[in-house]
Amino acid sequence: MSRTQPLPTYFLSHGGGPWPYMDGPFRQHFGQLEASLRQIPLELGQAPRAVLMISGHWEAARFELMAAENPGMVYDYGGFPAHTYQIRYPAPGEPTLARAVAQRLQAAGLPVALNSERGFDHGAFTTMFPMYPEADVPLVQLSLQQDYEPAQHLALGRALAPLRHEGVLIIGSGLSYHNLRAFGPAARTASGQFDAWLQHALLRETPEGRRQALLHWSDAPAARLAHPREDHLLPLMVAVGAAEQEAGSLIYHEPDFMGGVTVSSFRFGALPGR
What is the tens place of the pLDDT at every residue in 138-148? 999 999 999 99
pTM for the predicted model, two decimal places: 0.97
Report DSSP letters for 88-114, one per residue: -------HHHHHHHHHHHHHTT--EEE
| Every domain of the chain and the residues it spans | 9-268
In this structure, are residues 191 and 252 in contact, taking their beta carbons and an 8 Å threshold? no
In this structure, are residues 177 and 262 in contact, taking their beta carbons and an 8 Å threshold? yes
What is the tens place of the pLDDT at every residue in 33-91? 999 999 999 999 999 999 999 999 999 999 999 999 999 999 999 999 999 999 999 99
Report the alpha-carbon distance of residue 56 to residue 42 in Å, rounded: 25
Name the architecture of domain 9-268: 3-Layer(aba) Sandwich (3.40)
- Between strands 112-115 and 63-66, the pairing is parallel
**Residue 96: partners with Cβ closer than 8 Å, 6 or more residues away:** none
Residue ranges, the chain, pLDDT below 50: 1
Closest listed residue to residue 108, CA positions, set 66, 154, 147: 154
pLDDT of amino acid 1: 47
pLDDT of amino acid 2: 54
pLDDT of amino acid 274: 75
Report the alpha-carbon distance of residue 120 to residue 122 in Å, rounded: 7
Report DSSP letters for 165-210, one per residue: GGTEEEEEEE-SS--TTS-GGGGHHHHHHHHHHHHHHHHTS-HHHH
Report DSSP letters for 30-94, one per residue: THHHHHHHHHHHHHH-SPPSEEEEEEEEEEESSEEEE--SS--B-----S--GGGGT--------
Please report the sign of the dihedral spanned by the C-alpha atoms of residue 119, residue 123, residue 124, residue 128: positive
